[in-house]
Structure 1
Amino acid sequence: MATRDIYETGFDEDVQHGTTTDCPECSGQVQTTAIETVCEDCGLVIDEQQIDHGPEWRFFADDETTRERTGAPLTPARHDRGLSTTIGRKRDGRGRTLSGAKQRQLGRLRREQTWARWQSTADQNLAHGLGEVRRIASALDFGTSIRDQACTLFRSAQNEDLLRGRSIEAIAAASVYGACRCNGLSRTLEETDAVARCERSELTTAYNTLNSELGLPAQPVTPRAFLPKLASDLDLRDRIRHRARELAEVAAEAGISNGSHPAGVAAACLYTTAQECEWSVTQTRVAEAADVSTVTLRTHYEAIIDALARGDVTR
């Protein structure tokens, strides 16, 4: 039968015949392999070069037990986005100790790789800054989401040439604090400064620069955001937490928290509620947990008491 007769019967290469059991030409038995589909009687190749839709598993060093589909994912926390290779030192992939000559060879390869990783001084600064961001994020117990956002913010600062005249450590710490503010997290500048490797004035200046030059969508931190952490540190009851949350909302509406430290207002709400519930806690302890002075705590406490006396807040 001619080729045109095959097409006249409706057979085409674009038509899927994965479930066909008869040959379209001679109605013979069809056999399908991983490469092609062939009629066993007449030898007609019905389909070839089939697409394998399964996973592309790979394995190395004849070790079929640790198959991987792909390599490590890209991450903004590395200057090369995690694409560089790590060269071992004393053991091979199977855990066997390498000889002295092989170890010296790997040492030379590591040195050459280290030199090749930095294409410019900007790459070295980027690697140092991202390492500082990872360190600060780890010290503050942040997740990968906040860490990656801080790393992206540091990259943006370097691209906008904001590192000139400023320390890398200050920009890295400001990037972490800026990521917290953009997500509305209740982390103060004092907490970031405690783990940063720069002065407080440098951190403040760097954050103000990032905020003004990059236009960060920083969200205002309300006193209510500090309540869970403070209540947990002071080991207060759930009833006190709920009442303090109500006081924080009304204090914000009454303007008590306007221009004030949100942690201080939150501490005053917790202390006021603790006094109402006759829970024994001192002003010094609450002020230390909120990292504010007792004068600040007492000022906000008196303002809340006055609001209660005027009837602005219901008991």
Structure 2
Amino acid sequence: MLAQPFPLAAPPPPPKPSYGPDLAVRLICPDCRDPVPKIVEEFGSGDLVCGSCGLVLGDRIVDTRSEWRTFANDEGDDPSRVGAASDPLMDGMEQLDTLIGFRDGNTGVAKELQRAASRSQGGGRNERNILTAFREISNMCDSFSLPKTISDIAKQLYKRADEEKLLRSKSLDAVIAACIFIACRQAHVPRTFREICELTRVPKKIIGQCYKTLEQAFNLTPGVGSGGPINDKGIVAGTGPEELLVRYCNHLALPPTVQSYASDIIIEARKQGIAAGRSPVSIAGAAIFFTCHLLDHTKNIKEIGGVAGVSDSTLKLVYKLFYADREKLVKQEWIDSGKASLDRLPSTEK
């Protein structure tokens, strides 16, 4: 019997069974321990309840079902799942927009339907003009970072002006500019004529003419709602320089103390009759320049003029008036506290 040259290899071990995690997640009631649980989702109360024993397993559950709401004007079920709130200014005009497809199998039905749809729309050209004006007002207010309140007031003013045929000879941009300017005053969001002109690209003279017409037609008191100072006649003036300080100081990244001190200086200058008759924009810019040097926050006059939209010579002229009466404008308590110093103010002598 021959000997084996090498030992036989041992048979391979049987393969081990592979196990994996059980991905079937089941919610079982801790009281019933029923392997086939009866879980009921009560969306009305937002609870997850066991159908066998009534134990509340969860609360504030999210309703994942389809949401069916009624958007129809009449009572009854409406299977629509879309729709927005109606705009009272539009009078349903935005709901009359219908588009007819072009594919009709070369039968000519689509063309006839398009003609019938265009004839059935009431108002026609007038409604399209109002929709165009409303769209333009919204775009201008968004580009100027104005709140939606301004847009709504301007749309209301434009619709009244269009219904009463007040500005038929004026361009659409001019009427929109005047409506936005009046809306800014009524909503306590001060904007100057210069800023409205830059926004709408309409000359200041034309905006002024439209503004005067709307002011007389709607019995608008000049400057009501603007929050400006009251003059000797008891009428609220236009946009005050104190209101412009907030935006100008924010654009210049100045601390709140500069705005507070500059506001006090403007109020004191008005009481003393200093810089009377000057525009609010130039007074606000000169007050900021005056206060910045008073509190040792140096700012270039060109930078202030660029934010305020005023030339350097105009700011220097108003600053000279403030500098001449600087002892009347600066409070003694500011100097005593060490925050302000008259020596920091640049001299106007050349």
Query: Under TM normalisation by the shorter chain, which class is it?
Result: 0.5 to 0.7
Does the 8 Å CA contact 2:245/2:284 hold for their aligned counterparts? yes
User: SS state of the match for residue 132, structure 1?
Assistant: helix
Find the aligned partners of 1:125 and 1:293 in 2 and give their Cα distance.
39
Q: State whether structure 2 residue 81 is matched by structure 1 residue 57.
A: no
Amino-acid identity (%): 22
* 2:134 alignment partner, one of 117, 130, 149: 130
Q: After superposition, where does 1:156-175 map in structure 2 within 5 Å?
A: 156-175=160-179
Distance 1:297 1:117, change over 3 A: farther
Aligned position for 2:283: 265
Partner of 2:152: 148
Distance in structure 1 (CA, Å) of the matches to 2:282 and 2:137:
28
The equivalences for 1:80-119 within 5 A come to: 80=92, 82-85=94-97, 87=99, 101=104, 112-119=116-123
Per-residue Cα deviation, 1:180-202 (whole angstroms, up to 9, x for no partner): 12223221112221231543332
| Residue aligning to 2:310 | 292
1:1-315 pair list within 5 angstroms? 57-58=69-70, 67=81, 71-76=83-88, 78=90, 80=92, 82-85=94-97, 87=99, 101=104, 112-217=116-221, 218-219=223-224, 220-256=238-274, 258-309=276-327, 311-314=328-331, 315=334
Amino acid at match of 1:221: T
Assess if the C-alpha contact under 8 Å between 1:72 and 1:82 holds in 2. no
1:71-113: CA deviations, max 9, x gaps? 4223256474543356597xxxxxxxxx9559x9888766754
Aligned mates of 2:264, 2:168 — CA distance in 1:
46
Where 1:141 maps in the other structure, the secondary structure is coil
Provide TM-score, normalisation by structure 1: 0.66
Q: Distance in 2 between matches of 1:156 and 1:59?
A: 28
Q: Is the 8 A contact 2:167 2:210 kept in 1?
A: no
Q: Which deviates more from structure 2 when the two are superposed, residues 173-182 or residues 126-135?
A: 126-135
One-letter amino acid matched to 1:279: H
1:133 aligned partner, one-letter code: I
Contact 1:240 1:273 in 2 (8 A): yes
CA displacement 1:207-234 (0-9 Å, x = unmatched): 1211222222433211111111111111
Check whether the contact 1:79–1:127 (CA below 8 A) recurs between aligned residues. no
Letter of the 2:305 partner, please give it.
A
SS in 2 for 1:285: helix
Task: Give 1:159's aligned amino acid.
Answer: E
The answer to whether the 8 A contact 1:248-1:265 is kept is yes
Asked if structure 1 preserves the Cα contact closer than 8 Å seen for 2:100 and 2:113, the reply is no
> Which amino acid is the alignment partner of residue 202 of structure 1?
I
TM-score when scaled to structure 2? Answer: 0.60
- Aligned counterpart, 2:24: none
* Larger CA deviation: 159-168 vs 285-294: 159-168
Unaligned runs of 5+ in 1: 1-54, 90-98
Q: Deviations 1:40-75 (Å, cap 9, x if unpaired)? A: xxxxxxxxxxxxxxx983499xx98x846xx42232
Per-residue CA deviations over 1:25-45 (Å, capped at 9, x if unaligned) read: xxxxxxxxxxxxxxxxxxxxx
- Match for 1:253: what amino acid? K
Give distance in 2, aligned partners of 1:130 and 1:200.
22
Q: Which digits, 9 at most, give the CA deviation of each residue in 1:145-194, with x for residues without a partner?
A: 11110011011112222122211221111101111122232211122212
- RMSD of aligned residue pairs (Cα, Å): 3.3
Higher relative contact order (CA 8 A, sep 6+): 1
